[in-house]
Amino acid sequence: MNDFQVKPPVARKEATPTMLHGHTLEDDYRWMREKTSPELIAYLEAENAYTEAVMAPTQALQTKLYEEMVSHIKETDESVPYRSRGWFYSMRTVEGSQYPIHCRRRATEGRFDETQPEEVLLDVNQLAEGQPYMAVGTMSVSPNGLLLAYSTDVTGFRQYTLHIRDLTTGQDLADTAERTGSVAWAADSTTLFYTTEDEVTKRHNHLYRHRLGDAQAQDVLVYDETDERFNLGVGKTRDGKYLLMEVGSHTTTECHLLEADVPEGEFRLIAGRVDEQQYSVDHRRGLLYIRTNDVGKNFRVVTAAVASPGRENWRELISLNPEVPLEDFDLFDSFCVTSRRVLGLPVLEVFQFREDGGLGEARPIRFPEPVYEAQAHANRESETGAFRYSYQSLVSPASVYEYDVETGSSKLLKQQEVPGGFDRERYGSERVWVEAADGVKVPVSVVYRRDFFKQDASNPLYVYGYGSYGYPLPVGFGVARLSLLDRGVVMAYAHIRGGGEMGDVWHDAGKMMVKRNTFSDFIAVTEQLVEKGYGAVDRVAIEGGSAGGLLMGAVVNERPELFRVVLSHVPFVDVMNTMLDASLPLTVGEYEEWGNPNEAEAFAYMKSYSPYDNLKAGAYPAMLVKTSLNDSQVMYWEPAKYVAKLRTLKTNDSSLLLHINMDAGHGGASGRYDYLKEIAFDYAFLLRELGVEG
């Protein structure tokens, strides 16, 4: 059976225009927002049936791809144990099980001792029994090590229920709370702080204090955030001495602190919110260490006494570098570590504290490859002489190292084992720079299999992009990718503006009223990779998800002939209708990323690129659009409406498929095997459309 033997479902049209600023937004499919409507469910099931029928001839290929991916996974494995308060914690997986098992062993004189009996904290496989979906949101062990606070979501809608487990008995207590987010224990191990979300907008706006044994109705409301742009989070300093409450929007933050051993005290403001200023806080020896962008986009580090933490008392410790963004700052009792971005790549530097509290000479941790990821890894204790970090690249499996601060040497603790005949020497990676339409240089990370790669414009080419929220597109290792590389596909990751590869300046250059830079950058990357011979002009596949799905829709509308096949996951394609509905989750907070369409200038600009509003009659590339019924970030109806409308306009016979996971949320399937099956499905579509099924 193929596309020409089955017909796609036809969605009913019902005109529901919206008029604003002298313009009319046409929307024939608004009725799809009725999630409980039998007509809607029947339509989505018909779309799934059509997709299944069209993809039926690829079933053998899907199975082969899935088996390849599983063959490259060490199915029974364990993470590197990390130390916290007299225990070593780890996570392990068991062959055939979908979910991880979280466990711990007692430390022996501060060292890991595998002869100590294992204690299971949480077997997620048991939690998932009888559930089509299972996600653990937060996990936090009490300071005395006897209790575990954790939260679960069984729908994919990011609606978490808080539980508290007695680790002595392994049984959950009666204590519980609904719609929770972050949690933090007070020092007494009987008081727990947690945030909750607004039922409609899913914005975390309340902080509660809970005492063991109390019902949720007895919990004390500590803080109520009324500004709809801001979300709450609660945590602790690394040394455990202070609780921290952070109130943040996309562009502005403020922090409050409370002594962890005075849980019924009041959180004290560190520095009030100032628009476009962000800061984060940690504590060491009576001083607050604050990473802030108060004097420049690239951030600096200042200190202030706990008793007088206001901006007027900030003293500079690490100055602003106008060329290199300070992405993160990790604080320990005797040293600190900075993470910067140099030409888009992370650079870690270690500083030891002098007796006067100043910093010694910077000691960089060096990395050998042209494209890589490196970051701090599970450093839970403040008083230590070692710093753990993770390292991986497009061709090097994930590794965990421990850096000895005194000697300056790194020791490999574990590298991800990749069975099934993987040999990293078969694969090459490089960093390519392309010129955007306005002359700005944009980095691209490229990976390929050496013996298949010919820079003669003959290879099938895959380009991935995101470019929003200041998120640096990761270039880590992935076993699923091998199935494409081993078939000769050249894979490229476009670090376009709107992302965070070059810090906040790079983000600012691809959001709000210059958002179109994100799309033109991606088009320039694709064009120039083809011109440079990395791929064939008629064999280009592209992929993006969420805001990256917006990217897919925008570039396809602008240059449909440039792409052969498109994979679009949970795509944010109905920009105007979503951003005009303040009752939807995230909308008001998103004004700082996209703009507020209630303002005429922003309305006109956003309308100029909104994928749903700019579909027109013409030929389009083959497209697989995927969504989940319980997605709380990009509602299922956006991709459903987009596909329905495109079907009425597309003039060629390329595939247009919509697949809806009826039991999941924004990230798709929750089980690791189920997730690989979803990737195998995507890759089978891509390879078939590119003519690379062997």
One DSSP character per residue, 64-101 reads HHHHHHHHTS-SSEEPPPEEETTEEEEEEE-TT-SS-E
Which of 27, 613, 631, 682 is flagged as catalytic?
Answer: 631
What does the DSSP 8-state code read for residue 633?
A: S
Alpha helices, DSSP H only, in 459-597?
482-485, 504-508, 516-531, 547-558, 575-579, 587-594
The three-state secondary structure class of 122 is strand
- Terminal-residue alpha carbon distance, the chain: 20
Q: Which residue has the tokens 């799934």?
A: 48
Please check whether residue 256 is in contact with residue 268, taking contact to mean a CB–CB distance below 8 angstroms.
yes
What does the DSSP 8-state code read for residue 656?
A: E
Residue 260 neighbours by CB under 8 Å, 6+ apart:
186, 187, 236, 240, 241, 242, 243
Query: Taking the mean position of all CA atoms in its chain, how far away is CA 506?
Result: 18
Q: Which residue has the tokens 């922003």?
A: 602
Tokens of 450: 């050496």
Using DSSP bridges, classify how beta strands 656-661 and 622-628 pair: parallel, antiparallel or unpaired.
parallel
User: Is-catalytic flag, 175?
Assistant: no
Query: Apex CA 627: angle with CA 623 and CA 631, to 5°?
Result: 155
User: Is-catalytic flag, 666?
Assistant: yes
Count of C-beta atoms within a 10 Å radius of residue 491: 24
Task: Report the amino acid identity of residue 123.
Answer: D
Task: Report the amino acid identity of residue 219.
Answer: D
Which of 163, 330, 666, 670 is flagged as catalytic?
Answer: 666
Among 466, 464, 418, 471, smallest CA distance to 445 is for: 464
Among 323, 255, 333, smallest CA distance to 292 is for: 255
Which of 339, 546, 568, 632 is flagged as catalytic?
Answer: 546
Among 484, 458, 444, 451, smallest CA distance to 567 is for: 484
Q: How far is Cα 146 from Cα 547, in angstroms, rounded to an integer?
A: 41
Query: Taking the mean position of all CA atoms in its chain, how far away is CA 527?
Result: 27
User: Is-catalytic flag, 631?
Assistant: yes
CA distances (Å), origin 605, targets 425, 477, 496, 602: 47, 37, 19, 5
Catalytic annotation, residues: 546, 631, 666
